[in-house]
């Protein structure tokens, strides 16, 4: 049996992408609340506060805030052992800088966790998933400011103490490493509250913000372990292996250097110190970073218990500029296709073997347990795709998961990777983070709502729902 006993089969979401209730229960405005709908090749706009008349898809999302009991029941029907979601920071500290938390927000997550535990579903919780309080951006300059460390740590401590008997698995920041793509306004804003490309010295801002976030994470890990020594506290990175287009040594080196962007944050989270490729880069770029001796000590003391990651695709790089399609190069794509792979409708390369490659690299590099907390395929699906049995037949999704789970098995069985769990992304249709659309669907469960916000919000299992139920029941044997 490749997967261990108690393997955490489940699904993943993030508060801002499904809860809605953006201004209910005392919740404050988060950075996700000021982002409009975009689309394929059309980035989401970040508005200056919430502006009347704009379409903000996260405000209602799929209304999980009011419907979570029914949704948790559906997850339980599928046999989920785990459910990954985030706590919306703005439900607990609406402006981020209060000294006392918002009781109504805390209560909401008490109720949600109780509901999950009622069905023996383990909550797997991210503290910050693209939803920091917007006030911290406007009033303090977001993660440019050292004060953010204390705000985050206070928030983390409140959550650890409140939920210490309900939640065992935690993650500090979602995909913290993606902001290293400093040209992407989206990645910088959602991770740090900063659009790096608009900064006078983007590299200075990136590494300073990164440092404060890493210190905040390490402090949180340390405090969490003191609150409950049984806690398992991990980091979470977005992992997209970079392949060279050819075996020309120039391409190989470029791909290797590109991977520094992927590893920089996890190197610090897992090893407790900065890698030499980063410190030499700081010197080369003449950066003047605020890093104290105490900070370096805390990084060492607050290393993580496990490494969680998302995996959707692999990327290609080349030094041969003639091979780069400039029209296809954007925030999420290098503009070079892998000739051996098919792509999704959103241009993401489908590469099941890449998940084994990822598991092996991370396992060898850090020698830590791993958790896959996002994986999946975005598809266009409407009620018109329903078959005579009244179900959406998402065979493409089933094929995608079959192929990826096969490769996970090989990584465990043949390569000895210590894998704790698998939580496919968007287990129920929700708002896409990158595009803000409902149309980019990942779920085992269909939600009746379109990009304009119209629909009944009714839920309906897709074919993959029954397929995944069988996979979980057989602990991954019956694919």
Closest distance of CB 362 from ligand BGP, Å: 17
Structure tokens at 233: 């506290």
For the question of residue 175 being annotated catalytic, the response is yes
| Complex with ligand BGP: residue 85 or 435, whichever CB lies closer | 435
Residue 154 near ligand BGP by CB under 6 A: no
167 Cβ contact list (under 8 Å, min separation 6): 113, 123, 125
Q: Which stretch binds ligand BGP (CB under 6 A): 59-67, 358-366, 432-440, 460-468?
A: 432-440
Is the backbone of residue 318 left (phi > 0), alpha (psi -120 to 50) or beta? beta
Residue 440 near ligand BGP by CB under 6 A: yes
Q: Which of 174, 192, 242, 363 binds ligand BGP (CB under 6 A)?
A: 174
How far apart (Å, rounded) are the C-alpha atoms in residues 363 and 365?
6
Closest distance of CB 86 from ligand BGP, Å: 9
Q: Which of 181, 375, 432, 464 binds ligand BGP (CB under 6 A)?
A: 432
The CA dihedral of 327, 330, 333, 334, to the nearest 10 degrees, is 70
Q: Of these residues, 115, 122, 131, 175, which one is catalytic?
A: 175
Residue 308 near ligand BGP by CB under 6 A: no
- The footprint of ligand BGP on residues 238-257 (CB under 6 A) is 238
- The footprint of ligand BGP on residues 12-51 (CB under 6 A) is 14, 17
Count CA within 13 A, CB hemisphere, residue 185. Answer: 10
Which segments of 55-156 are extended strands (E)?
82-86, 122-128
272 Cβ contact list (under 8 Å, min separation 6): 218, 299, 300, 301, 302, 303
Q: Which of 425, 465, 467, 468 binds ligand BGP (CB under 6 A)?
A: 425
For 288, other C-beta atoms within 10 Å of its C-beta total 8
For the question of residue 250 being annotated catalytic, the response is no
How many residues sit in the footprint of ligand BGP (CB under 6 A)? 14
Chain residue at closest Cβ approach to ligand BGP: 434
How far apart (Å, rounded) are the C-alpha atoms in residues 281 and 274?
11
Going residue by residue from 211 to 240, which x/- string records binding to ligand BGP, judged by CB under 6 A?
---------------------------x--
How far separated are the first and last CA of the chain, in Å rounded?
14
Residue 354 near ligand BGP by CB under 6 A: no
The 10 Å CB-count burial string (b at 16+, else e) for 61-77 is bbbbbebbeebbebbbe
Point out which residues bind ligand BGP (CB under 6 A). 14, 17, 174-175, 238, 310, 374, 378, 425, 432-435, 440
Q: Among all residues, which ones are annotated catalytic?
A: 175, 374
């Amino acid at each position: 049996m490749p997967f261990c006993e108690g393997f955490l089969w489940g699904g993943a979401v993030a508060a801002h992408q499904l809860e809605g209730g953006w201004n209910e229960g005392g919740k404050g405005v988060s950075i996700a609340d000021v982002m409009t709908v975009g689309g394929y090749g059309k980035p989401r706009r970040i508005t200056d506060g919430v502006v009347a008349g704009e379409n903000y898809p996260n405000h209602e999302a799929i209304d999980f805030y009011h419907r979570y009991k029914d949704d948790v029941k559906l997850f339980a029907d599928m046999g989920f052992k785990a459910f990954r979601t985030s706590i919306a920071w703005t439900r607990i500290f609406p402006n981020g800088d209060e000294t006392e938390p918002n009781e109504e927000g805390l209560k909401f997550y008490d109720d949600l966790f109780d509901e999950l535990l009622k069905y023996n579903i383990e909550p797997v919780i991210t503290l910050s998933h693209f939803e920091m309080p917007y006030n911290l951006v406007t009033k303090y300059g977001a993660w440019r400011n050292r004060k953010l460390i204390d705000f985050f740590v206070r928030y983390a401590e409140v959550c650890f103490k409140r939920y210490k008997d309900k939640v065992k698995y935690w993650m500090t920041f979602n995909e913290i490493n993606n902001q290293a793509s400093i040209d992407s306004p989206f990645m910088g804003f959602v991770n740090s509250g900063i659009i790096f490309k608009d900064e006078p010295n983007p590299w200075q801002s990136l590494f300073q913000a990164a440092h404060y976030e890493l210190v905040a994470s390490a402090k949180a890990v340390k405090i969490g372990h003191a609150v409950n020594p049984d806690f398992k506290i991990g980091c979470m990175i977005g992992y997209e292996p970079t392949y060279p287009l050819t075996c020309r040594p120039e391409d190989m080196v470029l791909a290797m250097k590109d991977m520094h962007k992927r590893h920089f944050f996890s190197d610090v989270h897992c090893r407790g110190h900065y890698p030499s490729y980063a410190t030499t880069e700081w010197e080369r770029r003449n950066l003047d970073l605020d890093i104290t001796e105490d900070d370096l000590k805390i990084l060492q003391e607050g290393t993580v218990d496990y490494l969680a990651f998302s995996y959707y695709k692999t990327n290609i790089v080349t030094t041969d500029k003639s091979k780069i399609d400039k029209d296809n190069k954007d925030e999420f794509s290098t503009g070079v296709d892998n000739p051996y792979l098919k792509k999704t409708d959103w241009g993401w390369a489908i590469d099941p073997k890449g998940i084994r490659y990822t598991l092996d690299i991370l396992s060898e590099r850090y020698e830590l347990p791993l958790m896959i907390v996002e994986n999946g395929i975005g598809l266009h699906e409407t009620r018109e795709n329903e078959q005579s049995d009244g179900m959406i037949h998402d065979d493409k999704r089933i094929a995608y998961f079959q192929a990826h789970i096969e490769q996970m098995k090989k990584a465990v069985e043949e390569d000895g990777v210590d894998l704790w769990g698998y939580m496919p992304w968007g287990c129920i249709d929700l708002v896409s983070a990158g595009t803000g659309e409902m149309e980019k669907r990942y779920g085992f469960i269909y939600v009746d709502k379109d990009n304009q916000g119209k629909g009944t919000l009714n839920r309906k299992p897709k074919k993959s729902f029954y397929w995944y139920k069988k996979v979980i029941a057989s602990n991954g044997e019956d694919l």
